[in-house]
Amino acid sequence: MIILGTSLVTFLPRVLPLLILNRLQLPDWGIRWLNYVPIAVMAALVGQELFLEDGSLAPFPANLEVIAAIPTFLMAILSRSLLGTVLVGIVSIMVLRMFV
């Protein structure tokens, strides 16, 4: 029941814009706006993951995620490798949690 309900409310927003916007001709500003959605949504997800904890601000000096994000960002910028970035991220947080 819970599984079916959550699946349905997840399926609809995934599919409806692809179905409906295809029938409409988007105005020029609409296309330009959509062009920034990917950057905005990814950055918002990063911000949420790094700075928030159960809906409140994660306490800064104890927030190891933000510290682990630094080598992770560097790896992404220098290597442009998704796999490498994820590996560096996992190892960074694991080491930080072991020693801090």
Partner 1 sequence: MVQELEQFDVTKDRIQVREESFLQGVKDCVPTLLGYLSIGFAAGVVEKTSGLSLMEITLMSVLLYAGSAQFIVAGMIAAHGSAASIVFTIFFVNLRHLLLSAALSPYFRHLTPLKNVLVGSLLTDETFGVAINQTAKTKRISERWMHGLNVTAYLNWIAANIAGAFFGQWITDPEKFGLDFALPAMFIGLLVLLMASRRKLAVDLVVALSAVVLVVGVSLVFSGSAGVIVATLLAATIGMVVEKWK
d(CA 25, CA 95): 51
d(CA 65, CA 96): 9
Q: Can you read off the two tokens belonging to residue 12?
A: 């609809």
The alpha-carbon radius of gyration of the chain (Å, integer) is 19
Q: What does the per-residue mask of binding to partner 1 show for 5-44, with x meaning CB under 8 A? A: xxx-xxx-xxxxxxx-xx---x--x-xxxxxxxxxxxxxx
Q: What is the smallest separation between the CB atom of 12 and partner 1, expressed in angstroms? A: 9
Helix/strand/coil for 16? helix
Q: What is the smallest separation between the CB atom of 62 and partner 1, expressed in angstroms? A: 14
Chain residues in the site for partner 1 (CB under 8 A): 1-7, 9-11, 13-19, 21-22, 26, 29, 31-52, 54-57, 65, 68-69, 72-73, 76-77, 80-83, 85-94, 97
